[in-house]
Amino acid sequence: MSVFERYLSLWVALCILAGIALGSAAPGAFGALAALEYGSVNFVVAVLIWFMVYPMMVAVDFAALSRIHERPKGLVITLSVNWLVKPFTMAALGVLFFQHLFAGLIDPAQAGQYIAGLILLGAAPCTAMVFVWSQLTRGDATYTLVQVSVNDVIMVFAFAPIVALLLGVTDLSVPWETLLLSVVLYVVIPLAAGVWTRLRLTRALPPAAGEAAVARFTARVKPLSVLGLLATIVLLFGFQGRVILAQPLLIALIAVPLLIQSYGIFGLAYGWAYLWRVPYPVAAPCALIGTSNFFELAVAVAIGLFGLDSGAALVTVVGVLVEVPVMLSLVAFANRTRGWFPGADP
């Protein structure tokens, strides 16, 4: 690893501080960038995520898709944790903390809003950033694509009923433009670019030489992926810099159940994969998918149901801020424990 990669956690911490400082010093500039969005999907962030996702899409081997059914365990873990566990544990943590443990520290009228924001995050598994986490753990790119795609299909049908059940909302309106636009921007477009690149690299080459060419290319573009991640962190924290500085205690309180949920869900999925002897390139992404959240969808629904300045919307924003540092810590843990699993490279 290069010095830059080895100290990635340090650069992330510096980018968080830089984002908060820049967001406070130049709110107008960040406000203009934040306004470049449609359906709560920010196009500047989308482009940066595209750069992060693209190298992994180049590694997707479509010839291997026909063999996915031979390794169903990763999909079983991902789908079980995402749809049978995660939304309900998030709701339970919300009730525990905001109706009981933190009751004396928050406005009682806002408790329901905070719980609603947690539920929206818990019911929306990740679509985009999981490709980045999978790449950083050297996960199976093809299997990760299948896991994300299956989750997206289920989300179209299951998100609204689960949220309606847990919130008691009967007239929930799913922002389809957010859901569909996110899938197109974060999956379809980078996948199409990755397929085209892979075909160009492997054309007229024997299989072994073609894979070597793909590996060399992804190694060259990997720095762009990491720089895209760091730039995304600066933007996300810059967008919310004033909120963080204005309400630091509230932000910390909201972060507590989010942290417990994130590490708990990862521990459940990763431990299940370990006991089931799932190969590491599948085990790591399947645990990370359930831990990460589809924050664009959660933010959009929170704003649509409760308003821009609501407690629910604030919780979904805090979910964005908490996610990147948490996921990087889990990536580091997975990389250190890869030897626990079969199929791990040295």
Tokens standing for 86?
């995660």
% of the chain with per-residue pLDDT over 90: 21
CA separation for the pair 24, 7 (Å, rounded):
26
At 41-80, the pLDDT tens digits run 778 878 887 877 787 777 776 666 666 677 789 889 999 9
> What digits encode the pLDDT tens for the residues 55-65?
777 777 666 66
Q: Are 121 and 316 in contact (CB under 8 A)?
A: yes
What's residue 41's pLDDT?
75
pLDDT of residue 330: 94
pLDDT of residue 5: 66
CB 48 within 8 Å of CB 225: no
Whole-number Å distance between alpha carbons of 116 and 87: 11
d(CA 50, CA 43): 10
pLDDT tens string 100-118: 899 888 888 888 889 988 9
Q: Which of 266, 188, 190 is nearest to 228 (CA)?
A: 190
Which tokens belong to 64? 């291997």
93 pLDDT tier (thresholds 50, 70, 90): very high
Q: What is the pLDDT of residue 63?
A: 67
**What pLDDT digit, counting tens, does each position of 280-315 carry?**
999 999 899 888 887 777 877 787 677 666 788 888
Mean per-residue pLDDT of the chain? 82
198-218: per-residue pLDDT in tens?
888 888 778 778 778 887 887
Structure tokens at 138: 């050297």
Task: Specify the residue for token string 């490279």.
Answer: 345
Under the banding of pLDDT at 50, 70 and 90, the label for residue 273 is very high
Q: Where are the alpha helices (DSSP H) in the chain?
A: 3-6, 8-25, 27-34, 43-58, 73-80, 86-96, 111-122, 129-136, 141-167, 176-183, 189-202, 207-239, 241-246, 248-275, 280-291, 295-306, 311-336
The alpha carbon of 130 is separated from its chain's Cα centroid by a whole number of angstroms, namely 5
The predicted pLDDT at position 4 comes to: 67
Per-position DSSP letters for 237-288, written without gaps between them: HHHTHHHHHH-HHHHHHHHHHHHHHHHHHHHHHHHHHHHTT--HHHHHHHHH
pLDDT at 319 exceeding the cut of 70: yes
- Domains of the chain by range and CATH? 48-221+247-340 (1.20.1530.20)
Mean pLDDT within 137-152: 84
